[in-house]
Chain A
């Protein structure tokens, strides 16, 4: 029998994978993928909790997050394209003009 904790563990694992991606990756595009994974781990947790507590609010929230994530990706990818056109790279180690 699959219970709530299984879903939450899955969510936690996904979040950790996303976090590791954010920390280790050097490519901005990959960073985007990693943040999407983190967002979706949250969605999993919301949906699971919502189902087990018989409360639709969580699922509504998950949809809301998906909508926001979609628009965020649209803007973000647009920025990435501009950035790539300007610098010819998306490697974070080469994009350090704010060095203090």
Chain B
């Protein structure tokens, strides 16, 4: 069984190294094909492991080698394949296989084709380390690894010049990449602190040692750890107030957005909370858990509201990712870990599909992303229209598609816990989700063909790309039916969460209400946008519209109150401290030696007699020193 674990884990690494060999040479299709095949291998191994784990109901725990062994600190390279990690592995490898195949078509004309595959596979490897590690140190390595790959891939087109924020809110790919990396570093600091506190108090980083030891820990320590780890999760999963990087990360190539910034990496925060469920479900940290649920609900609403008015195809989907991550945190915070994981998996399928569809549109529209300039694309892009329609229905939560089951379960959980405020917000957000998803679909594919004014001739994506996307479409449609069996599978490890009898009776009405909101949202979007774009100047210039359009002025706030003062302090320190003290000292030392050498150069007269005189002087001085020491001794 070990063999399959290693195949699943290392096939992406091999793929990355192989593609890396051709990193600097010209585009070669076989690099993409071999990378995709290795990823598929990894997927089949993961699927087999999932089958085995489900069959035997026992986790597979292997230790590859000892990594750090110093004093009492022992950290092995150990991997655990249990119900949680195997679910993540299957989702990650499946989506990444599809994305790899998709990229062969999407990156067809890019001169850095080979480099792209190298980064993409390296990301998958890091993500697998993250989910499979049996200790917090390994998790952290994977955590940083996916961060680096995310940075590399957001800034993949690093050569694009900077633009002003009016033209492009994320300025340039390299700017967006740096923003993502720096924001994540801030969060990672908190996470490191959490890990240190855990080690300090339990003496280990292994999950199976740490979690049983939690019950003997102090209340304040538990709270500190819970908060610190959650801040780490907030950074990676882009929760408020560290959310700005995710929409800017859309500067990366679309397959990257689909894989990293929708389906897998950003869910790592949710994964962390789920993995640390023994910690978060302790009564001592119930306030932290409730905070997680509240923040998740807030972000769900907050992000959905910004998606309502955005005109950028990819940014709308990015906001919807944020919003759905909020749902997952809401579920995890309320203790329904398995529902969070279920939504994570279902979301990964339809969100990746949605992004890949958006990539097709972008490809067809020659990198134009403004949905106000599209419309009527369904005539030329039937396949993509179908896929994006399926994904949007799933996202909006219309039965029997996947999103309905998972999202409805979360909303039901909020009701079941008696947190009616959260429940209300989540229900309203479900309506908003439906509205913005279909606003985007209708504006892109229906109505008048506005793109003609811009002299764009759209064309459908390659056939094999559309075929490669079909597994995601299938799963977006049917994943919901596996809710029952997934619950049975996962609750061997995660605490079960069942609705109370009371909720169960009301479930039909609750589901109906959510559905009503969702259908209402779609109907509203249809009415407003399906027959062409009618712009309402008064509404668009209104305060609320402008507020949402400018993302609640949060990026502007950060720029004004964090970036600018920081730049000012940095400039000041550079000019006064660095230039005048540090550099001056170093330059001064160099100057002394240079001048000393320059002055004493004249000793080198070339005249032997002079040299002999100097030699005599040296001899006399040494004699004097020797005499001096002889005398004092």
Contact = CB atoms under 8 A, between A and B. Distances in A.
A36 to B, nearest CB: 15
A93 B608 CA distance: 8
A76 B608 CA distance: 15
Interface stretch (B31-39, B85-93, B404-412, B599-607): B599-607
Interface in B146-167: none
Interface stretch (B109-117, B335-343, B510-518, B609-617): B609-617
Interface string A56-100: 000000000000000000000000000000000000110111111
A22 B602 CA distance: 21
Contact of A100 (B601, B612, B616): B601
Contacts of B604: 98-100
A2 interface: no
A96 B606 contact: yes
B601 A93 contact: no
B616 A93 contact: no
Contact of A98 (B601, B606, B609, B612): B606
Interface string B571-614: 00000000000000000000000000000011111111100110
Interface residues of A, number: 15
A23 interface: yes
A69 B606 CA distance: 26
A42 interface: no
Which DSSP category, helix, strand, loop or mixed, fits chain B's interface?
helix
A26 interface: yes
B613 to A, nearest CB: 6
Contact of B607 (A22, A31, A96): A96
Interface string A2-39: 00000000000000000100110110100100000000
Nearest to B613: A23
A100 B606 contact: yes
A89 to B, nearest CB: 13
A95 B602 CA distance: 17
Nearest to B603: A100
B608 A92 contact: yes
B616 A99 contact: no
B620 to A, nearest CB: 10
Contacts of A31: 608, 612
Given A98-B604, A100-B604, A19 B616 contact: yes
Contacts of B616: 19, 22-23
A63 B484 CA distance: 108
Contacts of A25: 609
A23 B612 CA distance: 6
Contacts of A95: 607-608
Contacts of A28: 608
Given A22-B616, A23-B616, A92 B605 contact: no
Contacts of A23: 609, 612-613, 616
Contacts of B606: 96-100
A25 B605 CA distance: 17
B609 to A, nearest CB: 5
Nearest to B602: A100
Interface string B553-571: 0000000000000000000
Nearest to A97: B606
A23 B615 CA distance: 10
Contact of B609 (A93, A97, A100): A93
Interface in B232-252: none
Nearest to B615: A22
B607 A93 contact: yes
A31 B610 CA distance: 13
B612 A22 contact: yes
A24 B609 CA distance: 8
B605 A96 contact: yes
Interface string B41-60: 00000000000000000000
Contacts of B608: 28, 31, 92, 95
Contacts of A97: 606
Nearest to B612: A22
Contacts of B609: 23, 25-26, 92-93
A61 B108 CA distance: 88
B167 to A, nearest CB: 62
A92 B607 contact: yes
Contact of B605 (A19, A22, A26, A99): A99
Contacts of A22: 612, 616
Contacts of B603: 100
Contacts of A19: 616
Nearest to B608: A92
8 contacts: A19-B616, A22-B616, A26-B609, A93-B609, A95-B608, A97-B606, A99-B604, A99-B606
Interface of B: 601-609, 612-613, 616
Given A97-B606, A98-B604, A99-B604, 5 more contacts: A19-B616, A23-B613, A92-B608, A100-B602, A100-B605
Complex A-B, nearest 6 residue pairs according to Cβ-Cβ distance, in ascending order: A100-B604, A99-B606, A96-B606, A98-B606, A92-B609, A96-B607
